[in-house]
Structures are given as C-alpha cells and as structure tokens.
Structure 1
Amino acid sequence: MGGGRMEEMVPGADAITGVGTRRTRRRVVQTPPRASSTSWEGRYRTWVIGCDAFATILVIATMALAILEITGRPYFLHASGTAAAILFSLPLNRAWSQHVFGEGAEEYRRLGRALIIAAVVVALAGLLFGALDVQPWVFLAVPLVGLIALPQRYVLRKILHHARNKSGTCMLPVMAAGAPGTVRDLIERTRADSHVGWRVEAVCTDSGTGEVGGIAVAGRLDEVAEQVRRGGYRVVAVTSDPYWTPARLQQLAWDLEGTGAELVVAPVLMEIGGPRLNVSGVLGTPLLRVSAPAFTGGRRIIKEVFDRTTAGLGLLVISPVLLVIAVLIKLNDRGPVFYRQRRVGRDGDTFMMIKFRTMVVNADHLRNDLLDANEGSGPLFKMRRDPRVTRVGAVLRRYSLDELPQLFNVLGGTMSLVGPRPPLPEETESYHRAARRRLLVKPGLTGLWQVSGRSDLSWDQSVRLDLRYVEDWSLALDMVILWKTARAVLSGKGAY
C-alpha cells in the first residue's frame, strides 16, 4: 500500500499487557496498516471500571454487614442507593474516559468530583425521603471508596507506565503535522516522557519530503487525512504552521471522521494547560479561553489551612525522628543543629528558612574557593561531591531529611507544602521576567522540581517546572506532587 513511511517495528511478546513489544531498526520501510484503535485501551479501561466497582461493592457490602450486626436492621435501600449513586456518578463525570488515563491529575480530579457528587446525591435523597440515618453512608462509605479506589488507580497507572518505559508497549501511534521545528519539539517531548504514551510514527510537513527528528516524512500537510487512513494512526497532532488556517483545520476534522483518530491541536501557549484552558463557542467560533492564574480566593484559603494543619500534625508525628537527627548532628562535630538561611518568598519578601545543618560550620566562607568546581546551571551552586558536606549530612541530603525543619516555616506561613523552590536573594537578582513569576506564590517544601529530577535538573528545566506549577496550580496537583514526593525521597535519586 502507499502508506506513510516510518522505522520498522518488530513485534514481540509482553507478558503483562498482552501487547507486542516494538523495537526500532534504522531501516526505513513502508508503514503497515494498523487498527484505528489499540486493543490495550479497552483492556485497561475494563480494569479501571472493574477496580472502581470492586472498591464500591467491597465498602458498601462491608458497611451493610457491620450495621446489620450492630443494629440488627438491614439497610438494603441505603446500601444499594449509595452504590448506585457512586457507580452512576463515575461515568457521568467522565471518570472512566480513556483520555484521562495514565497522565496528570485530571484522572484523580474526576474521580474525586464523582465521589463528592455521589455523597451529595445520597444526602439529598435522605432528606427527600426522610431517611435521616444516611450519615454513615455519606461521611464514611463514600470516603472509604475513595481511599481504596485512588491507590488502585495509582497501581494501574504505574503498571501502564512500566509497560511504556521498559518495553515500549501500550503506546498510541501518532501522526504529527506541522512545521519541522514544532514537530521536532513534539517528537523530543514524547521521547523524553514516554510514560505519556505518545509515539510519533509518521510526519507530514509542507514540503512532504525528508525527515524530522529521525522520522521519515510521509507526505504533505494536505495529505494528512489520507495518510491516517492508510496508516491507522490513533492521534493526529497538529503543530504550528502557517498552512493551518481555521478552514483547513475544520476540513481536516471532517476528513478524519470515521478513522478512529483523535485530532489534537497544539496551542501556541504550550506551557499553559489544565484547569486554565477552556474551549467555548462565541458566535459560532470556537475560542480557546485562558483564564488568569488564581493566586487568591477560596481554593488558596483551603490550601493555606491544609498546609498549616498538615505541618503541625507532621511535626508532632515525626518529633522523635527530629530529635534523633539533632543528636546525630551534634555528635558528629559538636556544631549547631540547625542552619538558617535567608530565602526569597512570595512577592519578593525574604524570610529565614530553617534546615538541619549538613555542612561544616564555615561552609558559606568556603564557597568562593569552590566556584571553579560548580556543577550547577544558571545561578545555582551545586556539587555532586561537595567537600563541605559532613558524613551525617550526606545521608540527610540523600533522603531529604535535612528539609524536615522547613515544616516550621510552613506552620509559620512563610512557606507552603508544595510550591516553587525557595531561591536565594542573589539568585533572584539575575532572574529574567518569566523566572520572576515564581515569586507570585509561596515557595514549597516540595514541588514539581522535587519529583522530576531534583538536583539533576538544569536551570531552565527547573524554571519551566516552577512556572508550570504557578500557572496551572490546583489542589489535585498538590495531592499528586505530595504522593510522588515520598517515592522520590525514598529513592534518593537526584539528591546531593
């Protein structure tokens, strides 16, 4: 067939997913036709639905049996009504949509919203029918379903990511169409973040010849729909190019009908996404609305209360650990336990950040002697084997235990649990305009930089991640970052 061209893919067995492993060769061959949808998607969605149903039935049945044992009264209507409310709310809130599986906080956000709505429905139904004894089902049963369903979703996601990162299975074949530069950027991003599940397998450009990012050009931009029908690509990613006028994009959307391919148009604002982007129609014209980032309001108040409450409870729980670390530091060299350093907080205000001391007492004075060995990028000073770090300090840094006293900063309101990295005053002096936006919110004990590589990140990568957090912040994103922080700290990767 006269399909697009791509690197040859050799199928292999995958014991976990049942999807053939693909390994690339350098020889370029004709693209073979493939199904317009991938079989693993259906199986993964079935697993998600099955796990949610299992969590619901398990909790509701256990609650019903426990109440029957305590009161001697069967609550069949309460149990069945609560289960029905949950299982109907999940699909209505698109918590089972395959478009949100495997990446980002949106999957968890939809699950949480569905459970909240289910709880409200059960409560209203109790008021409507005079069943005022629905409190256990609203305040206990529904939250318990969430406590079981969320970890199940997380485990399924990790299995999916493992298949994508290790064996290259469970991927969505992508046709990229646009200017060579923007297409190359998309290819690089998909290769760097393979867990997202996109694999660009064919390219269309205005010239229709050559190669982009090691992938052969399959045809011209006016041939995209034809190439998709021949190659059976799952996603058509349209990137910036003068060719793409509104009329041509609309025609492409029409031409792709019936192919099973999803049309994705990359906006110019590549680093803005999540809850700030909304599509609406005005006078029959689709418009991409970009709402202003929220730095105040109800959600920020909730974040503030959550931060301080969690910090206070955390300090109480880990106080024995803090005491042991303090003793070890003191015994190591008889120096002070804590290290205080001036950092820049929200709106450029400075504060004293507190950490466990991990370096020798006169470390700041020795820094100038080590400038030639600096391995950090931008204004950051970093060394993998910093001679100023003590033996105890090396262990504390590896597992980020030195940062635990920053909970006092969170409790005092100068820091947040999640936010941009707290910069030094001299760092902010060299900030360009974009980097200064990091100062619009409180710095965090952890953040996207912490769960995405820590000290292994370049300066530009660190800035980009912090700006992404500032622009797209949400409570769900905070929960995901806190969850991932524990794994990053336990692994010790990127910490020095």
Structure 2
Amino acid sequence: MDLSETIKQQPYQDRNKSVGTIAEQRVRADRITLSVRRVILMAEYLGFILTFYILMMVRVLPNYDHVDHYNPIAWASQISVFTDYALFLAILLVLHAFTLIQNQLFSGKADRSILEEYLFDFRAIIFSFLITVGITFLLKTTFLYSRITLVLFAILMLVESLFWLVTRRSIMKHLNNKGTLRSNILIVGAGRVGLDVYNKVIVSRTNKNHFIGYLDDYKSNKDVIGTIAELEMILQKQRIDTIYITIPSEKHIIESMLRTIYKYDVDIRIIPEMFDRMTTVFAFRNDLDYPCLQIVKTPLRGLNVHLKRISDISGSLIIMLVLSPLFLIIAILIKCESKGRVFFKQQRVGKNGLPFQMVKFRSMFNGAERNKSSLLNDNEMTGPAFKMRNDPRVTHIGRFIRKYSLDELPQLWNVLKGDMSLIGPRPPLPEEVERYTDYHWRRMDVLPGMTGLWQVSGRSDLDFEQWIDLDIYYIERWSIALEMKILLKTLPAVVKGSGAY
C-alpha cells in the first residue's frame, strides 16, 4: 500500500495530535540540552573571572599597600593597572565567546568525541589569548601586565575548560542513560548499508542513540518492525528523532516517504547511493544551481600537498645528513661481498602511473633480475607482487639490510627529486601494474612512499589484498594525525625487522 493511501485512511484529528506530541517531545529534549549547555557555560565563565580575581590577589595586589584584598570593586580606584587588567579579561572572554559561537554555527559534525571537543576549546583559548595580547599591544598597555600572571591565567583556562567539558559530558551521559535525551533512530532499509549505519551510528554510541528498528519491504527478522508503508503509524506510536534512508534507488518510495514525514519534527538523512558501491571521499558543491557530490580522491590536496612536500624535503635532508656515515659503511660492505654497483636502479610506477627510476642499495648478486623468471613458481605473495622469504639471489649483507629496511635509504634521493614521499604506498613494478584491477589502481592516486601503513602493519606477512586495502585506507583517510601515527610506528617496525624479506 502506498504511504499516501495510509494517510488518507487516518482521521485528521488523530494525525494532528500525533504531530504536535512529537514536536513537543523534541522541543522538551532540546530545551534540556540547551539549558545544560548554558548553565555549564555560565559556570565556566564565572570560573574564569574567579581565577583572574585570585591571580590578581596573589600576583598583583602584593605590590600595592593598604588595598582591600576582598573588595574588587574598590580596586579600580586603589590599583592603577586594574582597569588595564579588566580590559584584557573582557577582550579575552568576548573573543572566546565569539569563537565558541562560530564553532556551533559552522561545525559540520553534530557528534564529536571528547578529544575533538577539547582540541577545539584548546585552540579557541589560545587563539583568543594571542589576539588579546595583540590588541593590547596596539593599545600600548602590554608592558603594564605581568607576563607570568597572563600565562598562568591561560594555562588555568585550559585546565578549567577540560574540567567543565568532562562535567557537561557526564551530565549529558547521565541524562542519556535515563532516556531523557536519548535519540531514537529508525533505519529504512535492512540491506548492507542499513546494517553498516546501525554499526556505526548506534553500536558505537550506545549511550546517546537508541535503535528503534528497520523498515523493509523484503526482509523479516527481529529488528525489522514493519514495512515502509507503516512508517507514519510507527511515527505516531513512539518518538523518532532521526530517520536514515538507505534505499536511494527507490525514488518514488522516497518521495512518498518525504511527503509523509515532512510534517513531523524528525531529522531525515538520506545515504547517497554511491556510498553503497564505493568507499571514497565526497565534497558537497553547488554548480549552476545544481547540488553535486564531488568525488575527492584523497584529502591530500591543496595546502596539504605543499605542507607534505615541505616536510618531505626537510625530513629527507636531515635523515641523509645524520645517516651519512651509515651510507658509507653499507656501501663498503656491499662492495666487499660481491661484484657490481653499490646502488641498484629499477623502474617503478608512481603517482597517476608515471614511471620513475627508484634507487636502492643493491641487496642481490649482480644480474639477479635476469633469474627472476625461474623463481616465479616459488612466489610466496598472492596477487601480482613477487616475494620470497629465502630468495637465493640475495647476498648475506643484502639479507641483513633488507631485514631492517636499510636497502631503502637511497630512496631519500627519490623523495628529494619529488618522485616519492616519505610516507605513502610502496611503488610497484610495471609488470605488477599490468595485472592491477581498477580497484588496485586507487593506490596510484598519491606519491609512493618509503614507509606506509603496509610497512607498519605486518609488511610481507600480509597478503596482497590486505596490502592494497591498507594503502587505500591511507589515501582516503589521509590526515596529519595519520602521518604522525605511521612515523611513530615506523622505527619500532624497522628495528623489530619482522615481516621483511
């Protein structure tokens, strides 16, 4: 039965009453949330003012005799710099409040972790403090302040901000556990995307979100509470705060649903169909008045590319300078053990399929590449890559430098040239790329790297598909934090030497 037919069969009086009741419940929950936030914010600002008052008593008042320590109103006439300190405090708090408002208006994330919230508070306090110092410098009052007093105040603001953040989240958690502020979630569609939404939205945040069930016309289990035609009936039986629609290909059904639930105070969220078929990054655009989802291959673009390039150049130069004696020792050992050049050059495929000559310390006997075809049956790696744990072509010193990835140090030259990066997917051989699927080609969207998720997650102990998945995860979820995580894990992985051969 079509949703519009279900609506027609219901008395208007009953439907109007249900709509009003749902709106009233949502308003009540929103008011409680807003009240908690306002009370905590007020307490936080009163705490800032009290902290400033105590610092004035401890740091400033000892310089003034016969001043009433417990009467801050009289300080204006008794302390010559009081007005300047009060001005500093007022500017700081106004800027801080403005920054918090900006966060509420323009933040794209409705639900953030405590770390994400505190990082923003941290930045807001530091930003406000530095701007205030700049303004007071222009007003020519900076020299009147005690630097230690102001720095102590900024540090205490950071500590108090964390305290009030934990307090607010504890209160909200308590109210969520009681069910007062719990958000009721209904998912339309019990397919793969619907199940994924359940795992990510509900299971990962059990204190806040309460799962009502699925609506699906084709599946039946304990979690499917009805068909799509029964949507409005369910909306009237219990409060629903958010509806996730995971069947975007059914256009006529979605239009009917939207007409039905527009009048209810319910958040409607449609999962775009492409998310069901590919994992990538999207950005919302508005081209010629048409809303568009722009497919973004990686967050590593724009300014991030330049910052990464600067870190690559500076990092590779520092490493080459520090390890130059090690370069010399390895070169001598290679030359002493077997004939041939110290460095081995090999064509690899880089970003967007561009070929380049990668440089390594030679770890095999001279001319070993010509014998590779006779060893293909002994390949221990799945997919197009070739790996052998006991490759007979590898020299004694070569086995050692491979184990600890020392053979890859000359690739720092490739990093300086711009063919590679310090962090990224490993560059494949041309014959490997010839066997790549379209999915495998995703790892060519960024510069190849000397180290990456694959190297710090098991190296050659992983099969080829796991290797590819890690590379694509890095590409699609690139961030400075992920870069730092890989860097911190690289040294222990290299020293341990497991999975390398």
TM-score range, shorter chain: 0.5 to 0.7
Q: Which residue of 2 aligns with 1:245?
A: 254
Distance 1:196 1:333 in 2: 60
2:189 to 175, 178, 189: 178
Distance 1:440 1:200 in 2: 39
1:341 to 337, 346, 352: 346
Structure 1 residue 125 corresponds to structure 2 residue 135:
yes
Q: Which residue of 2 aligns with 1:306?
A: 311
Distance 2:418 2:379 in 1: 33
Give 1:312 deviation, angstroms. Answer: 1.4
Give 1:411 deviation, angstroms. Answer: 1.4
Aligned positions of 1:87-486 closer than 5 A: 89=99, 92-93=102-103, 99-101=111-113, 118=128, 121-122=131-132, 124-126=134-136, 128-130=138-140, 177-178=188-189, 180-183=191-194, 204=214, 206-207=216-217, 209-210=219-220, 217-221=224-228, 238-243=245-250, 245-246=254-255, 248=257, 257=266, 265=271, 267-269=273-275, 270-273=278-281, 276-278=282-284, 287=291, 289-290=293-294, 298-320=303-325, 322=327, 337-384=342-389, 386=391, 388-389=393-394, 396-397=401-402, 400-433=405-438, 435-436=440-441, 438-450=443-455, 454-455=459-460, 459-460=464-465, 462-463=467-468, 466=471, 477-486=479-488
Q: Describe the shift of the 1:238–1:447 C-alpha distance in structure 2 as closer, same or farther (beyond 3 A).
A: farther
Q: Which amino acid letter does the alignment assign opposite residue 380 of structure 1?
A: A
What are the superposed Cα offsets for residues 282-317 of structure 1, whole Å, 9 maximum, x if unpaired? 98x9x4542656887554334323321222123223
1:490 to 468, 483, 492: 492
Asked whether the 8 Å contact 2:349–2:427 carries over to 1, the reply is yes
Q: Which residue of 1 aligns with 2:175?
A: none
Structure showing greater radius of gyration is 2
More off after superposition, 369-378 vs 409-418: 369-378
Distance 1:419 1:378 in 2: 20
Give 1:430 deviation, angstroms. Answer: 3.4
Q: Give unpaired runs (5+ residues) of structure 1.
A: 1-35, 37-41, 66-72, 157-171
Distance 1:367 1:277 in 2: 45
Give 1:209 deviation, angstroms. Answer: 4.0
Asked whether the 8 Å contact 1:177–1:238 carries over to 2, the reply is yes
Distance 1:367 1:226 in 2: 69
Distance 1:330 1:195 in 2: 56
What are the superposed Cα offsets for residues 190-238 of structure 1, whole Å, 9 maximum, x if unpaired? 69xx989999988625236445xxx854543456798899999998654
Q: Describe the shift of the 1:339–1:82 C-alpha distance in structure 2 as closer, same or farther (beyond 3 A).
A: farther
Q: Which residue of 2 aligns with 1:162?
A: none
Give 1:265 deviation, angstroms. Answer: 2.9
Q: Which residue of 1 aligns with 2:16?
A: none
- Select the structure that is richer in helix: 2
Q: Describe the shift of the 1:349–1:279 C-alpha distance in structure 2 as closer, same or farther (beyond 3 A).
A: closer
Asked whether the 8 Å contact 2:348–2:428 carries over to 1, the reply is yes
Asked whether the 8 Å contact 2:215–2:227 carries over to 1, the reply is yes
Q: Describe the shift of the 1:430–1:316 C-alpha distance in structure 2 as closer, same or farther (beyond 3 A).
A: same
More off after superposition, 407-416 vs 381-390: 381-390
More off after superposition, 339-348 vs 123-132: 123-132
Asked whether the 8 Å contact 2:190–2:224 carries over to 1, the reply is no
Q: How many residues end up aligned between the 2 structures?
A: 399
Q: Which residue of 2 aligns with 1:27?
A: none
Distance 2:337 2:239 in 1: 64
What are the superposed Cα offsets for residues 4-34 of structure 1, whole Å, 9 maximum, x if unpaired? xxxxxxxxxxxxxxxxxxxxxxxxxxxxxxx
Q: Which amino acid letter does the alignment assign opposite residue 405 of structure 1?
A: P
Give me the TM-score of the superposition, normalised by structure 2: 0.55
Q: Give unpaired runs (5+ residues) of structure 2.
A: 1-28, 30-35, 60-80, 167-182
Distance 1:76 1:89 in 2: 21
Q: Describe the shift of the 1:277–1:100 C-alpha distance in structure 2 as closer, same or farther (beyond 3 A).
A: farther
Give 1:470 deviation, angstroms. Answer: 5.2
Give 1:253 deviation, angstroms. Answer: 8.1
More off after superposition, 331-340 vs 424-433: 331-340
Give 1:251 deviation, angstroms. Answer: 5.6
What are the superposed Cα offsets for residues 250-306 of structure 1, whole Å, 9 maximum, x if unpaired? 86687674xxx9957355144232xx52377998x9x45426568875543343233
Q: Which amino acid letter does the alignment assign opposite residue 294 of structure 2?
A: V
Asked whether the 8 Å contact 2:337–2:397 carries over to 1, the reply is yes
What is the percent sequence identity of the aligned residues? 31
Give 1:178 deviation, angstroms. Answer: 2.1
Q: Describe the shift of the 1:430–1:98 C-alpha distance in structure 2 as closer, same or farther (beyond 3 A).
A: same
What are the superposed Cα offsets for residues 450-490 of structure 1, whole Å, 9 maximum, x if unpaired? 456644555455555545655665xxx14422323422552
Q: Describe the shift of the 1:238–1:300 C-alpha distance in structure 2 as closer, same or farther (beyond 3 A).
A: same
Give 1:93 deviation, angstroms. Answer: 3.4
What are the superposed Cα offsets for residues 315-370 of structure 1, whole Å, 9 maximum, x if unpaired? 22344555565566667768755433211223433222123444555542343233
Partner-residue secondary structure (3-state), 1:341: strand
Partner-residue secondary structure (3-state), 1:245: helix
Q: Which residue of 1 aligns with 2:20?
A: none
Distance 1:320 1:230 in 2: 76
Distance 1:395 1:79 in 2: 62
Partner-residue secondary structure (3-state), 1:480: helix
Distance 1:494 1:201 in 2: 43
Q: Which amino acid letter does the alignment assign opposite residue 480 of structure 1?
A: L
Q: Which residue of 2 aligns with 1:31?
A: none
What are the superposed Cα offsets for residues 412-460 of structure 1, whole Å, 9 maximum, x if unpaired? 2221233343121222333455654654542223345445664455545
Asked whether the 8 Å contact 2:232–2:260 carries over to 1, the reply is no
Distance 2:327 2:384 in 1: 31
Asked whether the 8 Å contact 1:339–1:356 carries over to 2, the reply is yes
What are the superposed Cα offsets for residues 67-121 of structure 1, whole Å, 9 maximum, x if unpaired? xxxxxx9996799689756797467436897734389xx8899689757854773
